[in-house]
Amino acid sequence: MEESTSEFSYLNAEYIEQVIEEYKGNPLIEALPEIYSTNEAYKNMRIKPLYSEKERELSSEIRYQMLFRLQQFFQPVSQHLDLERRFSRLIRTGYITRNPLNADEVKHLRGFKVSSVPAASSFTFMGYSGIGKTTAIEQVLSLYPKVILHTYPINRIQIVSLKLNCPHDGSLKTLCFDFFFKVDELIGTNYFSKFAKRSNSISQLVIQMGRVARLHCVGALIIDEIQHLISATRDNGSEKMMNFFVTLINEIGIPIVLIGTMKAKSILQQDFRQARRGSGQGDIVWEQMKQDDDWDMLIEGMWKYQWTKKKVELSTELKETLYEESQGIVDVAVKLYSLAQSRAIETGTEVITSKLIKVVAKEDLKLIQPMLNALKRGIWSEIQQYEDIAPMNLSRFLEERKSKIDLRASMQKRKELQEEEKQKFEGSVMEKVISALISLDIPAKEAEKTVKKIIKETKEDNPQIILQKSMEYINEKEDKMQQRRDVQKQAAKTNVLQVIVEKGKKEKLRAYDSLHNAGYIKDPMKEFSM
């Protein structure tokens, strides 16, 4: 059960009986979620953005806003599931030697020397920019609580994992400072003000990091973007960096995962592997995806999120084009798909084609073309030269191009620029309310028209109130339509009676007899006879 204070949240420890012998009787392991099966890991890691087929009927302005949802899309494939399994083993085996019920661990925390403090298992995780390393590790970390509170049989705050990003200036001291800052951020301590002093040497900082990490049972330390450290090193910089990591592992005694681009691969795989204890986890190197079942599953999952008016089924040609223009880099493939839809909506063609994807790749991904071309040629020296080119920021790009679609909808450019921030906010609110109405089986066009009307008339910006007023308007409108139908039905019925009476007159029948013969009047003798 999750508890929280005004600033910090944690999970109250609930202990799960372990099957694996080494894990039994260790509260730090027993408080973790159960080991996930492959299917459970897949389901829990997958992110499916909000989507409805009916949204394709909405206006271009609204659909354009919905393209941002593709940034949330995450489709686990084999390599993600492999990463999850490795991390699951890493964090649990790292706790084996740090059982807080073990006498040696208690002595160690109190500052006494113990016979041996086994080195922790660690591994490196390398890959091209945009391959999805950071997203993947964050999805794996999301399977675990950040902080667990133990009250019995131990009284301890357990930080399950801590992720740091290497500073761009490559400063090791700044990296150490960030460790204390992140711990304070999670559990409300004051380690940053206590230890993050410029006068402290890196060696002193590492010693304090070790004490804090063991005191709060940090399960794993993840250090991302380590290529920044390598970029900033000079002379014997790489050697100093490796000495830092070796000292960190030996002093802290917890599992460490180093994540970086291929720029860091040669140094880390040569020096780091020799410097640390073999973990059995194996280093991970992600290159571009191959055109295999994993690629097909990724693209098929992504293709469902299509906001163009003309729905296009995924063909072999489209899959091959996406691969050719992205070279199997997931980040590039997702952005290409989003930008192709953006261009289709903007130009009014409303259809995704292989030709359109190629045009978008050429015109909108100019900055990363050198890297993609190097990958196409497969020449390692060129790939190394361009490997750290970061893919474009999709949000920024879509915002820059948004004005083109807005201009088609309204020629009042000056007014649009003045109200840009307001429109951006309203677009987000409008999208939420329209999606809510669609989920209630309100036709997409009617939902959009109603929400725009309510916002315009009420100047309201609260989504809940807009939704409520929209439902009231729709219900009131439906009631009026029903009343109109009832009146029309009654009028039609009255017209029928008049026709019957007029026809009877021609046959010299009384109105009563005509209506009786037509079945509109019952015979009282037969109706009430016993």
> Within 10 Å of residue 517's Cβ, how many Cβ atoms?
13
What does the H/E/C string look like for 295-349?
HHHHHHHHHCCCCCCCCCCCCHHHHHHHHHHHCCCHHHHHHHHHHHHHHHHHHCC
Between 400 and 499, whose confidence is greater?
499
CA distance 165 to 178: 8
| pLDDT at residue 412 in the model | 42
Encode burial over 424-442: b for 16+ CB neighbours within 10 A, e otherwise.
eebbebbbbbbbbbbeeeb
**Mean pLDDT in residue range 163-182:** 90
Q: pLDDT of 343-362, one tens digit each?
A: 999 999 999 999 999 999 99
Q: pLDDT of 173-205, one tens digit each?
A: 999 999 999 999 999 999 999 999 888 998 899
| pLDDT at residue 410 in the model | 46
| pLDDT at residue 402 in the model | 55
Do 523 and 515 contact (CB within 8 A), yes or no?
Answer: no
Q: pLDDT of 403-454, one tens digit each?
A: 555 544 444 444 444 455 445 545 577 888 888 888 888 898 898 899 889 8
CA distance 379 to 392: 23
| pLDDT at residue 226 in the model | 86
CA distance 521 to 530: 19
| pLDDT at residue 119 in the model | 59
Q: pLDDT of 40-58, one tens digit each?
A: 999 999 999 999 999 999 9
Q: Which helix (H) or strand (E) holds 238?
A: helix 237-252
Residue 475: exposure state from Cβ atoms within 10 A (0-12, 13-18, ≥19): exposed
